[in-house]
Amino acid sequence: MKWEDVLGRAREALKGICNLCPICDMKACASRVPGIGGIGTGSSAKNNYEALRSLRFKMKTLHDVTEPDINVELFGQKLAMPVIGAAVAGAAINFKDRMNEVDLAKAQVFGALEAGTIAMIGDGPGDLYDKTIEALKGAGKGIAIIKPRKLDEMIRRIRMAEEAGAVAVGVDVDAAGLVNMRRSGEYVGPLSLGALRKICESTKLPVIIKGIMTEEEAVMASDAGAGAIVVSNHGGRVLDDLPGTISVLPGIASKVKGRSILLADGGVRSGSDVLKFIACGADAVLVGRPVVWGAFGGGKEGVRLLYEKLADELRIAMILTSCPSIKEVSMSILQS
């Protein structure tokens, strides 16, 4: 199977949900929440895409970089690339039950492992977390992302993640107003600093805080004990008129790089997108919507093919910008 075959199958499987546009600029899927699109006008999702496109590389070809090192070590794991699967869940709500929730989670987790990286599993209304955690149990490795619920419930779910073999746990605080959760009647809300400290103190696992978009809150999260921060606007799925994530990443990196692991997401579709995020300060990136395409178009094999494609594109982009390793990537490879 080739990646092109995966896309063809995904296009059929996701008909009416995602158009798999040749250019995934998020213009065709505004207001598709629940679903795979952006909230409201879709401006935040579009801004992620446009911010990435606004960056330009300096191409360099007079050098001896032929085999760039794209390996990274995060959360005590040696990863084949600086790419992690984002927590994509809600098969019934977002994908009209066209795939079983457990099968969707397994495709993400096992596809990532077969490619030499790891994936996140998601949380949601009802028994969704009980289903996605099954995939993590079976793999014995992955990251559990939990919605910003009441503190005691979040800690209960952290215990489930620990028992399942998670290498880290996280809270997607950018889901504080997520429409899917609100409609279900289940509580989600902002996370106080006191609650964040208690969460970090409740487990020996690294705690990831996903949904940071300002330098101020990045510092607050790091000071409170967060082992990692994800610069994210939830894929443009929670609030209109937010900036593209990569546009705020350099400022955040200047405040917390080296103190907490710095991850980011928002519009990643290619290996060159990955390189731009690394250049702007991320230690690794999360990829979401393309993982959905991989899962629906080819199960765990489709997801594996996605990661292999991204890795190949990343290596080529590094060769053409004279980057010997991920550790040596900097903003100097971008046009000022």
State the DSSP H helix or E strand holding residue 229, giving kind and residue range, or none if neither: strand 228-231
Interstrand relation of 72-74 and 77-79 (parallel, antiparallel or unpaired): antiparallel
Judged on CB neighbours under 10 Å (0-12, 13-18, 19+), 110 is buried
The torsion angles phi and psi of 100, rounded to 5 degrees, stand at: -60, 140
**Rounded CA separation 300/296 (Å):** 9
234: annotated active-site residue: yes
What is the Cα–Cα distance from 89 to 94, expressed in whole angstroms? 8
Ramachandran region, residue 96 (left: φ > 0; alpha: ψ -120 to 50; beta: rest): left
Catalytic residue, chosen from 234, 276, 309, 315, is 234
Cα angle, residue 114 at apex, residues 108 and 120 outer, rounded to 5°: 30
For 67-80, give the DSSP string.
Answer: S-B--EEETTEEES
Q: Can you state the percent helix, strand and coil of the chain, rounding each to 5?
A: 45, 15, 40
Determine contact, residues 22/1, Cβ cutoff 8 Å.
no
Contacts of 216 (CB under 8 A, 6+ apart): none
Residue 293 to residue 19: CA distance in whole angstroms: 10
291 phi and psi, to 5 degrees? -65, -35
Q: Where are the beta strands (DSSP E) in 136-201?
A: 143-146, 168-172
Contact 80, 312 (CB under 8 A): no
204 contacts: CB under 8 Å, gap ≥ 6? none
Active-site annotation, residues: 234
